[in-house]
Protein backbone atom coordinates (compact mmCIF):
# COMPACT_ATOMS: atom_id res chain seq x y z
CA UNK A 1 0.00 0.00 0.00
CA UNK A 2 1.44 3.34 -1.02
CA UNK A 3 1.84 6.41 1.15
CA UNK A 4 -1.12 8.21 -0.45
CA UNK A 5 -3.41 5.20 0.02
CA UNK A 6 -2.31 4.88 3.66
CA UNK A 7 -3.00 8.57 4.27
CA UNK A 8 -6.44 8.28 2.67
CA UNK A 9 -7.32 5.24 4.81
CA UNK A 10 -6.24 6.96 8.03
CA UNK A 11 -8.03 10.14 7.00
CA UNK A 12 -11.31 8.25 6.42
CA UNK A 13 -10.98 6.57 9.82
CA UNK A 14 -10.45 9.92 11.54
CA UNK A 15 -13.40 11.52 9.73
CA UNK A 16 -15.62 8.88 11.34
CA UNK A 17 -14.65 10.44 14.68
CA UNK A 18 -16.40 13.72 13.82
CA UNK A 19 -19.69 12.57 15.36
CA UNK A 20 -17.91 11.44 18.54
CA UNK A 21 -16.19 14.85 18.74
CA UNK A 22 -19.60 16.50 18.35
CA UNK A 23 -21.04 14.52 21.25
CA UNK A 24 -17.92 15.12 23.36
CA UNK A 25 -18.23 18.85 22.66
CA UNK A 26 -21.70 18.76 24.22
CA UNK A 27 -20.48 16.96 27.34
CA UNK A 28 -20.56 19.29 30.39
CA UNK A 29 -17.28 17.96 31.86
CA UNK A 30 -15.14 19.07 28.89
CA UNK A 31 -13.16 22.20 29.74
CA UNK A 32 -13.12 25.43 27.76
CA UNK A 33 -9.89 25.07 25.68
CA UNK A 34 -10.65 21.56 24.35
CA UNK A 35 -14.22 22.71 23.65
CA UNK A 36 -12.95 25.66 21.56
CA UNK A 37 -10.57 23.42 19.60
CA UNK A 38 -13.36 20.88 19.02
CA UNK A 39 -15.67 23.66 17.82
CA UNK A 40 -13.02 24.86 15.35
CA UNK A 41 -12.47 21.27 14.19
CA UNK A 42 -16.19 20.69 13.69
CA UNK A 43 -16.57 24.01 11.88
CA UNK A 44 -13.64 23.24 9.58
CA UNK A 45 -14.83 19.67 8.94
CA UNK A 46 -18.37 20.75 8.14
CA UNK A 47 -17.44 23.85 6.17
CA UNK A 48 -18.48 23.62 2.53
CA UNK A 49 -15.39 25.64 1.58
CA UNK A 50 -11.88 24.23 1.89
CA UNK A 51 -8.97 26.35 3.08
CA UNK A 52 -7.09 25.16 0.00
CA UNK A 53 -9.45 24.53 -2.96
CA UNK A 54 -9.32 20.95 -4.30
CA UNK A 55 -8.77 22.07 -7.90
CA UNK A 56 -5.22 23.25 -7.06
CA UNK A 57 -2.95 20.34 -8.06
CA UNK A 58 -1.44 18.42 -5.11
CA UNK A 59 -1.95 21.22 -2.58
CA UNK A 60 -5.73 21.03 -2.95
CA UNK A 61 -5.84 17.77 -1.03
CA UNK A 62 -3.58 18.90 1.81
CA UNK A 63 -6.52 19.94 3.96
CA UNK A 64 -8.26 16.58 3.42
CA UNK A 65 -5.12 14.53 4.03
CA UNK A 66 -3.21 16.60 6.61
CA UNK A 67 -4.99 19.63 8.11
CA UNK A 68 -8.35 18.05 8.93
CA UNK A 69 -6.91 14.77 10.29
CA UNK A 70 -4.46 16.79 12.41
CA UNK A 71 -7.33 18.85 13.87
CA UNK A 72 -9.36 15.71 14.54
CA UNK A 73 -6.38 13.99 16.20
CA UNK A 74 -5.72 17.03 18.37
CA UNK A 75 -9.36 17.19 19.42
CA UNK A 76 -9.38 13.49 20.28
CA UNK A 77 -6.22 13.83 22.38
CA UNK A 78 -7.79 16.66 24.38
CA UNK A 79 -10.94 14.70 25.25
CA UNK A 80 -10.72 12.68 28.50
CA UNK A 81 -10.80 8.94 27.71
CA UNK A 82 -14.03 8.19 29.58
CA UNK A 83 -15.87 10.99 27.78
CA UNK A 84 -14.39 9.89 24.44
CA UNK A 85 -15.54 6.29 24.99
CA UNK A 86 -19.02 7.50 25.94
CA UNK A 87 -19.14 9.80 22.90
CA UNK A 88 -18.01 7.06 20.50
CA UNK A 89 -20.68 4.74 21.88
CA UNK A 90 -23.33 7.44 21.45
CA UNK A 91 -22.06 8.19 17.92
CA UNK A 92 -22.55 4.54 16.95
CA UNK A 93 -26.01 4.40 18.49
CA UNK A 94 -27.17 7.82 17.27
CA UNK A 95 -25.36 8.80 14.07
CA UNK A 96 -26.05 12.35 12.95
CA UNK A 97 -27.67 13.14 9.65
CA UNK A 98 -26.94 16.71 8.70
CA UNK A 99 -29.40 18.53 6.51
CA UNK A 100 -28.28 20.93 3.84
CA UNK A 101 -28.52 24.44 5.21
CA UNK A 102 -27.82 27.15 2.66
CA UNK A 103 -27.64 29.86 5.33
CA UNK A 104 -24.61 28.23 6.94
CA UNK A 105 -23.04 27.48 3.56
CA UNK A 106 -23.24 31.16 2.62
CA UNK A 107 -22.05 32.18 6.09
CA UNK A 108 -18.96 29.94 5.83
CA UNK A 109 -18.20 31.23 2.34
CA UNK A 110 -18.42 34.83 3.57
CA UNK A 111 -16.08 34.04 6.47
CA UNK A 112 -13.53 32.46 4.12
CA UNK A 113 -13.80 35.41 1.70
CA UNK A 114 -13.29 37.85 4.59
CA UNK A 115 -10.23 35.89 5.77
CA UNK A 116 -8.82 35.79 2.24
CA UNK A 117 -9.27 39.55 1.84
CA UNK A 118 -7.64 40.16 5.25
CA UNK A 119 -4.65 37.97 4.33
CA UNK A 120 -4.21 39.57 0.91
CA UNK A 121 -4.47 43.09 2.32
CA UNK A 122 -1.96 42.23 5.06
CA UNK A 123 0.50 40.95 2.46
CA UNK A 124 0.06 43.88 0.07
Task: Evaluate whether residue 68 is within a structural domain.
Answer: yes
Task: Evaluate whether residue 110 is within a structural domain.
Answer: no
Gap between the terminal Cα atoms of the chain: 44
User: Which residues lie below 8 Å from residue 62, measured CB to CB, with a gap of 6+?
Assistant: 52
pLDDT tens column, 78-104: 999 999 999 999 988 988 776 666 776
Q: Helices 68-78 & 3-15, crossing angle to 10 degrees?
A: 50
pLDDT score of 5 more than 70: yes
Number of domains in the chain: 1
CA distance 35 to 100: 24
Task: Evaluate whether residue 121 is within a structural domain.
Answer: no
Q: Which residue has the higher pLDDT, 4 or 118?
A: 118
Task: Evaluate whether residue 107 is within a structural domain.
Answer: no
pLDDT of the residue at 55: 66
Task: Evaluate whether residue 45 is within a structural domain.
Answer: yes
pTM strictly above 0.85: no
Q: Which domain holds residue 87?
A: 3-98
pLDDT score of 26 more than 90: yes
Instruction: Give SS3 for 50.
Output: coil
Task: Evaluate whether residue 58 is within a structural domain.
Answer: yes
Task: Evaluate whether residue 114 is within a structural domain.
Answer: no
pLDDT score of 69 more than 70: yes
- 3-state SS record for 78-123: HCCHHHHHHHHHHHHHCCCCCCCCHHHHHHHHHHHHHHHHHHHHHH
Task: Evaluate whether residue 74 is within a structural domain.
Answer: yes
pLDDT tens column, 34-68: 999 998 888 888 776 666 666 666 777 776 777 88
Of all residues in the chain, the percent with pLDDT exceeding 70 is: 83
Amino acid sequence: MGLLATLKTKSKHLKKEITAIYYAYQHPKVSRLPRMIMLFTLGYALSPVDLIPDFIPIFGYLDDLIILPALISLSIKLIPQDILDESRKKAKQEPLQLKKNWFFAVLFMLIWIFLLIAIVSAIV
